A = this chain, B = another copy of it.
Amino acid sequence: MTKGHVRLADLAKAAGVSQGTASNVFSRPELVREEVRERVLEVARELGYNGPDMKGRLLRAGRVNALGVAAIEPLAYFFEDPWARAVMTNIAGVCDATGTGIALVSAQNQQKLAWNINSALVDGFILLCVEGGEKLVELTRRRQLPFIALAFDDGDASIPTIGIDNTAGAAAAARHLVELGHRQFAILAIGHSDDHVGAVTPEQAIRSLKSTSRDRALGYWQALSEFGIERENVPVHGTRNDKSSVDAALETLFATPEPPTAILAMSDRIALFAMQWLAENGFAVPGDVSVVGFDGVPEAATAQPGLTTIAQPLEEIARRAVRAILDDALPCAQETLGVTLVIRGSTARPRS
Contacts and interface: CB of A to CB of B under 8 A. Distances in A.
B101 A51 contact: no
A133 to B, nearest CB: 20
Contacts of A121: 54-55, 58, 64, 66, 121
A290 B121 CA distance: 49
Interface in A274-316: 304
A74 B62 CA distance: 26
A144 B80 CA distance: 32
A96 B75 CA distance: 6
B118 A66 contact: no
B58 A103 contact: no
Interface in A115-142: 115-116, 118-121, 142
Contacts of A255: none
Contact of A96 (B62, B107, B119): B107
Contacts of A48: 144
Given A50-B143, A59-B55, A96 B79 contact: no
A85 interface: yes
A279 B239 CA distance: 33
Q: Which of A58, A108, A119, A120 has the most CB of B within 10 A?
A: A119
A79 B51 contact: no
B105 A101 contact: yes
Interface string A53-91: 011101100101110000000111011100001001100
By size class, the interface of chain A is 35 or more
Contact of A54 (B66, B95, B118): B118
A104 interface: yes
Contacts of A234: none
B88 A74 contact: no
Given A59-B59, A62-B55, A80-B89, A99 B118 contact: no
A92 interface: yes
Interface of A: 2, 48, 50-51, 54-56, 58-59, 62, 64-66, 74-76, 78-80, 85, 88-89, 92-93, 95-96, 99, 101-108, 112, 115-116, 118-121, 142-144, 304
Given A50-B143, A103-B103, 5 more contacts: A65-B119, A75-B102, A79-B88, A101-B103, A103-B104
For the complex of A and B, list the 8 residue pairs with the smallest distance between their C-beta atoms, beginning with the closest.
Answer: A75-B92, A76-B92, A121-B121, A102-B104, A79-B89, A79-B88, A103-B103, A76-B89
